[in-house]
Amino acid sequence: MKINSSQSLFLGLILIASVVTAQSLHPHDDEVQIINGEEFVQTPYGLMLRECVHNVPSGTHIQESEDGSVFLTNDEKNFVKRVQKNEKCLKAAPTEKLEVYIDNGGWDLPANKTLSKFEAYYFVPSTPRTTHDQWLYYFIGSQNNDGSGPGGSVIQPVLSYYKGWYFQSWNCCLQGMAYNSPSVFNITPHDEVYGSVEVNDSKATIISQNKLGEQSLLIVDRSERNFNWIGASLEVIGIQNCTDYPKGRMTFSQMNVTLNNEVTAIPQWDDTFGPSECLGKMIVQDPQTISIYHNTLKE
């Protein structure tokens, strides 16, 4: 078919429109920062070397091997990759015990108990009034804070805001690397979205699901780790003004925690970090409900 100039102009406009409206599945890759000639991206673990952050299809299994390489496999998506051990990533890895939360309810599980499942609904807060390239990360999650297994691992479904809301599963920091599955969108203020981390003898599964049932899912080898700490948190990067925070509440609700013996646990949440800027506070409404507020005096 011969395309005349008005047709090609039309096709060109469609192309531009689709580029403008396409939402990136891995929004951190839209904002690569060059520092001393190296590419960095923003993650829930702070700024990381881009080569240490792996974007993988939803449902991918992340398996560590003895030699420090990591196998990524996803039969359904026809995806296989071997990530070689990378000294640069190991050296630059975020600290093993990640404690940079601004608002956080945390619980050290009772001795000799390890997590089976932690799930919650996330009430999506209002959209921030101003945008200054801020990143907001709301998540429940779990870590092995007892040094078990081959290094620290964080498993978390992360409700994120960067110029828009999205929900994404993340794992960090096997061999200094972070892994994330494609974001799900269609998330608007006052939605209840669902996040869970579930651990069995061999694997940890991380689910981030929107109200349409669309999921971002990762499966990570447990490798003898005891996931013995859980938390419900907000982490932020690049806030310049209080209006860069949502106004009012974000809530983690109907939180269910089960431990290795399959008994439903009643968490005793600590507020390790106390109040934060812009009237920030974490309120434990009951053991199954934690709210994080900013920019309001109301509770």
Ligand X SMILES: *[C@@H]1O[C@H](CO)[C@@H](O)[C@H](O)[C@H]1NC(C)=O
Instruction: Specify burial of residue 270 (Cβ count, 10 A radius: 0-12, 13-18, 19+).
Output: middle
Least distance (Å) between residue 16 CB and ligand X: 29
Token pair 């101003």 is found at: 130
Least distance (Å) between residue 244 CB and ligand X: 7
| Helix H or strand E encompassing 193 | strand 192-199
Least distance (Å) between residue 48 CB and ligand X: 26
Least distance (Å) between residue 274 CB and ligand X: 21
Nearer to ligand X, 254 or 261 (CB): 254
Least distance (Å) between residue 192 CB and ligand X: 9
Nearer to ligand X, 64 or 119 (CB): 119
Least distance (Å) between residue 176 CB and ligand X: 24
For 197-215, b/e burial (b = at least 16 CB within 10 A) is bbbeeebbbbbbbbeeebb
Dist. CA 42–CA 59, nearest whole Å = 22
Binding site for ligand X (CB under 6 A): 111-112, 119-121, 130, 194, 200-203, 205, 219, 241-243, 254, 256
Nearer to ligand X, 26 or 113 (CB): 113
Dmax of the chain from CA atoms? Answer: 73
Least distance (Å) between residue 152 CB and ligand X: 21
Dist. CA 58–CA 242, nearest whole Å = 34
- Nearest by Cα to 141 from 260, 235, 272: 235
Dist. CA 227–CA 196, nearest whole Å = 14
Dist. CA 291–CA 282, nearest whole Å = 6
Nearer to ligand X, 102 or 239 (CB): 239
Cα–chain center distance at 106? 16
Nearer to ligand X, 20 or 111 (CB): 111
Contacts of 103 (CB under 8 A, 6+ apart): 233, 234, 273, 276, 280, 281, 282, 292
Nearer to ligand X, 43 or 168 (CB): 168
Dist. CA 89–CA 202, nearest whole Å = 25
Nearer to ligand X, 12 or 238 (CB): 238
Dist. CA 165–CA 181, nearest whole Å = 15
Nearer to ligand X, 43 or 223 (CB): 223
Dist. CA 296–CA 281, nearest whole Å = 10
Least distance (Å) between residue 6 CB and ligand X: 43
